[in-house]
Chains A and B, each alone.
Chain A
């Protein structure tokens, strides 16, 4: 059967819907839906705005961090160079004081020798000094050894000279004892 718009009554579904729409409850429901949709749209817009702001803040923070990281890297390079310069400065100071240090050690060594004992040769070794000398009797050599236990006697023998009391000796003196 064909539906005639002019003659036939509206379909039952439409009638039911009309009846439904007419009620206050349905109007309330529709108002709720409209309000909720509005609130949702507003909330969504607000969140989108916040999201944009958060992205901008993140980009700003990234730019600031990148800039500061580059500066810190440069500062690190400068600090490395500064450390190298400090090492160089220390070396130069060591070179500048090497003469005074050697002179002081020689003086200390000479002061340690007891009377009637004299040096004929003094040479720097890697860990101290090699001393050659003469003494009037073995007892003098013994006194020098007693005065400084760090001194190592390498050899002692009778001198070939006229005086039979004179002995030749060789000693090793480690540097720490002379400082």
Chain B
């Protein structure tokens, strides 16, 4: 009887051990795997949330982009073959307004820009201009100030003033040699924009 009881105890012990081992072998690795997957999913979820917070501001960026593009078009003024006629018209208008004589206008060859990579592609194509003007100091200064505000995109690089005629008691006549540059904006300066905005949407 005693022996039978001992056997039963041993059997209980063995069964409990077997159950524990089975639990450890089946449930614990799965729990660990689930924990690992949940941790990874949480990390991905957080990163996706961060990305979506960034994307929430895409609307603002789009409005900003549109406004900058409009401003660039406005600042670039007229483009294409009519640029030289616009320069002449501006000079003629300013000369009559401020009593300045246009002595010469020499458009130089387009300035060659060294080949660059696509990312640093310069959308502005400059062309040198040499302008000779004669007049009183005030008229020359005002012509100069208005020259770059016209419809064509012109930038003043340097000015040399020389006295032509001291003009007795009045202010002397001056000759202004202006080195300027006319700029043409690439027609495809916006290139790539549509791809990016399409992808963002």
A72 close to B (CB within 8 Å): yes
B127 close to A (CB within 8 Å): no
Nearest CB on A from B10, distance (A):
11
Q: Given the known inter-chain contacts A78-B65, A85-B65, A95-B154, please indicate yes or no for A40 contacting B22, CB distance below 8 A.
A: yes
Contact stretch, chosen from B99-107, B109-117, B144-152 = B144-152
B31 close to A (CB within 8 Å): yes
Task: Say which residue of B51, B142, B144, B189 sits within 8 Å of A88 (CB atoms).
Answer: B189
Task: Say which residue of A36, A75, A96 sits within 8 Å of B200 (CB atoms).
Answer: A75
Q: How many A-B pairs fall under 8 Å by CB? A: 202
Nearest CB on A from B184, distance (A):
12
Q: Do most interface residues of chain B lie in helix, strand or loop, or is the interface mixed? A: helix
Nearest CB on B from A158, distance (A):
19
Q: Given the known inter-chain contacts A72-B54, A82-B68, A99-B144, please indicate yes or no for A20 contacting B61, CB distance below 8 A.
A: no
A115 close to B (CB within 8 Å): no
Would you call A65 and B47 a contact (CB within 8 A)? yes
With the chains together, A51 CA to B34 CA distance in Å?
A: 5
Residues of chain B lying within 8 A (CB to CB) of residue A51: 30, 33-34, 37
Contact stretch, chosen from A23-31, A139-147, A168-176 = A23-31
Q: Do most interface residues of chain A lie in helix, strand or loop, or is the interface mixed? A: helix
Would you call A82 and B65 a contact (CB within 8 A)? yes
Would you call A61 and B156 a contact (CB within 8 A)? no
Would you call A23 and B4 a contact (CB within 8 A)? yes
Interface residue range, chain B: 35 or more
Interface residue range, chain A: 35 or more
Most buried by B among A20, A23, A75, A77: A75
Residues of chain B lying within 8 A (CB to CB) of residue A70: 199
Nearest CB on A from B107, distance (A):
17
Would you call B158 and A123 a contact (CB within 8 A)? yes
Q: Given the known inter-chain contacts A69-B51, A77-B196, A85-B65, please indicate yes or no for A23 contacting B8, CB distance below 8 A.
A: yes
With the chains together, A48 CA to B33 CA distance in Å?
A: 10
Find residues 39-91 in chain A having any chain B CB closer than 8 Å to their own CB.
40, 43-44, 47-48, 50-51, 54-55, 57-58, 60-62, 64-65, 68-75, 77-79, 81-82, 85-86, 88-89, 91
20 A–B contacts, CB within 8 A, in A order: A43-B23, A47-B31, A51-B34, A54-B37, A55-B37, A60-B41, A65-B45, A68-B55, A74-B200, A77-B199, A85-B68, A92-B72, A99-B145, A99-B146, A106-B137, A106-B141, A110-B137, A118-B172, A123-B160, A124-B160
Which 10 A-B pairs rank lowest in CB-CB distance, beginning with the nearest?
A74-B199, A99-B148, A68-B51, A95-B155, A92-B75, A103-B145, A61-B44, A47-B30, A124-B158, A54-B37
